[in-house]
Amino acid sequence: MVVWSDVVMKKNVWEDQSKSRPADELALPQYFRSARQLAFFLLEAYRTEDQFVADSLQQWSRRIDLSQQDRRLAMEISIGVIRRQLTLDTLIESQLTRPREKVEPALWTLLRTGVYQLVMLDQIPDHAAVSETVELAGKVGRERWKKLVNAILRSVGRLLTTDEVTEPQANAVPLSAQRFRCLTTDLFPDPKVDQAGYFSRAFSYPQSVMTDWLSRYDSQQVQSIAQWFNQRNTLYLRTNLLQNSRDELLNELQSAGIAVSPGAEPQSIRLENAVPLESLVGFDAGKFTIQDESAMAAGNLLSPQPEETVWDLCAAPGTKTTHLAELMFNRGTIVATDVSPDRLEKIEQNASRLGLTCIRTQLINTRGATLPEEQFDAILVDAPCSNSGVLGKRPEARWRLEEHSLQELQKIQQDLLQTALRQLKPEGRLVYSTCSFDPRENGELLKKVLTQFPERQIVQENLHLPGAPSDGGYQALVR
């Protein structure tokens, strides 16, 4: 059987070739005192050690001596570069007179950070993007890089115009919805001739992913999905209805000056602007949980009742488990299982913050030896998946959407569903959910598994397309 950790370890496959180069000789500074320097090292840790930006930030928290604004800029650059690397590479390669392989990988990272600022960040003047990036080469002890950095950034700068169009064209870089910045020359494939090629290079996705999406959706839909994952995430809060009503929480947040509006799910609240999470009043008191609206739909579809016995099979870190407990008014039993002990602890922390006591956590292994033995009224299978519906929140995930990983995941998803269906009471109900909008790990897979359980059927399916209006995902209710 394939183990989940084997799958998640395969991060950063896109950049495998450059990993073998000895760029990690660059010493981490004792303190990060500039946003660009921090962004550069976050990207290098991602490239050389497959380390997520958020994990590096946590690991280096004591070394970071930056204002909130500079921290945000470092995040914006590092996450933006991971997302838009293929667009940035297209621009850099167009101005390079030597083969890319002749450029040190860490220098390539630096070039990407500079080009990202030049092309994508309106608020940074071009001269600052160039000079700060050149200077950073010196600060990281690579004086010899300065000449190339200066030359490439200046020539990329000369490609840029202030003209904008609202539709894809071969000389246009997508910036935001219906905003494409024109270049002086055609750098991308002509979208009228090679749509997948244009979407791939201009929006920065593997070509195979664009071809796949275009086989299922029309080009306007693919464009909005591709764009939506490239922009700032919209955050949603799930009101803890055991502590306050949604209106009470809306009023409290509005009084604290935070722009919010009610979402489509009965508990959801949409944050209209990006706000530092620490400014959200009521988090420590357990008044809400940060959860995307489409993920809230999973708990609402299962609709667990007080006093029921519920199994949340892939529960960690407990965002959905705690929702189930809230829906059950904290009465009954939820068995929350997962294969990851560290992540299991997070369920307990979340439950305690929200004042929920009906959750029993249990570590299971992938061979099933430690599975709970009872039969359940309701089961949630929130399976590990490709994450194709949340590519905006997981900037590296688009580079790992590969056929062979999908096949490994499908095996896990099938096993989990079979295990769960065997422990469902005859009159019980099950929700299968993923944060993917790919039918191969959603409805198609579920229907295949259900052929072995002819007494069960799908009674409702929800497909959330990314950006309409929140993250992508899928849920099916089986009885």
Ligand X SMILES: C[S@@+](CC[C@H](N)C(=O)[O-])C[C@H]1O[C@@H](n2cnc3c(N)ncnc32)[C@H](O)[C@@H]1O
Catalytic residues: 435
Rounded Cα distance between 438 and 234, Å, is: 21
Site string for ligand X, 410-439 (x = CB under 6 A): --x---x-----------------------
Question: By CB under 6 A, which span of 201-209, 263-271, 313-321, 398-406 interacts with ligand X?
Answer: 313-321
Rounded Cα distance between 231 and 247, Å, is: 29
Q: Would you say 113 or 434 has its CB closer to ligand X?
A: 434
**3-state percent breakdown (helix, strand, coil) of the chain, nearest 5:** 50, 15, 35
50 in a labelled binding site: no
Q: Among positive and negative, which fits the CA dihedral 244, 245, 246, 252?
A: negative
Q: Which of 366, 375, 405, 414 binds ligand X (CB under 6 A)?
A: 366
Rounded Cα distance between 25 and 107, Å, is: 13
Of 184, 14, 175, 6, whose CA–CA distance to 95 is shortest? 184
Buried b (16+ CB within 10 A) or exposed e, 255-266: eeebebeebebe
First to last CA, the chain: 27
Angle between helices 341-354 and 319-327 (to 10 degrees): 40
**Close Cβ partners of 178 (under 8 Å, ≥ 6 residues apart):** 166, 167
> Does 300 contact ligand X by CB under 6 A?
no
Helix (H, G, I), strand (E, B) or coil at 462: strand
Question: In the bound complex, what is the minimum distance in angstroms from residue 467's beta carbon to ligand X?
Answer: 20
Total site size for ligand X, rule CB under 6 A: 20
Cα 233-42-224 angle, rounded to 5 deg: 25
Q: Which of 56, 133, 319, 475 binds ligand X (CB under 6 A)?
A: 319
Question: By CB under 6 A, which span of 164-172, 191-199, 309-317, 442-450 interacts with ligand X?
Answer: 309-317
Where does residue 67 rank: exposed (0-12), middle (13-18), buried (19+ CB within 10 A)?
exposed
Q: Would you say 119 or 316 has its CB closer to ligand X?
A: 316
Residue tagged 């089961």 (tokens): 379
Q: Would you say 293 or 382 has its CB closer to ligand X?
A: 382
Q: Which of 263, 282, 318, 332 binds ligand X (CB under 6 A)?
A: 318
**Close Cβ partners of 333 (under 8 Å, ≥ 6 residues apart):** 308, 309, 310, 358, 360
377 in a labelled binding site: no
Q: Which of 36, 84, 181, 320 binds ligand X (CB under 6 A)?
A: 320
Q: Would you say 40 or 311 has its CB closer to ligand X?
A: 311
Where does residue 214 rank: exposed (0-12), middle (13-18), buried (19+ CB within 10 A)?
middle
> Does 311 contact ligand X by CB under 6 A?
no
Question: In the bound complex, what is the minimum distance in angstroms from residue 463's beta carbon to ligand X?
Answer: 17
Question: By CB under 6 A, which span of 122-130, 315-323, 449-457, 458-466 interacts with ligand X?
Answer: 315-323
Q: Would you say 43 or 334 has its CB closer to ligand X?
A: 334
Quick one: tokens of 93? 């390669």
Q: Would you say 339 or 458 has its CB closer to ligand X?
A: 339
Question: By CB under 6 A, which span of 30-38, 139-147, 308-316, 445-453 interacts with ligand X?
Answer: 308-316
Question: In the bound complex, what is the minimum distance in angstroms from residue 328's beta carbon to ligand X?
Answer: 16
Question: In the bound complex, what is the minimum distance in angstroms from residue 107's beta carbon to ligand X?
Answer: 37
Q: Which of 105, 114, 189, 384 binds ligand X (CB under 6 A)?
A: 384
Q: Which of 271, 301, 316, 390 binds ligand X (CB under 6 A)?
A: 316
Rounded Cα distance between 106 and 85, Å, is: 14
Of 445, 430, 337, whose CA–CA distance to 386 is shortest? 445
Q: List binders of ligand X among 3-62 (CB under 6 A).
A: 4
Of 441, 437, 440, 446, whose CA–CA distance to 474 is shortest? 437
Question: In the bound complex, what is the minimum distance in angstroms from residue 441's beta carbon to ligand X?
Answer: 12
Question: In the bound complex, what is the minimum distance in angstroms from residue 436's beta carbon to ligand X?
Answer: 10
Q: List binders of ligand X among 321-350 (CB under 6 A).
A: 337-340, 343
- Residue ranges binding ligand X (CB under 6 A): 4, 313-320, 337-340, 343, 364, 366, 382, 384, 412, 416
Residues of the binding site for S-adenosyl-L-methionine: 338, 382
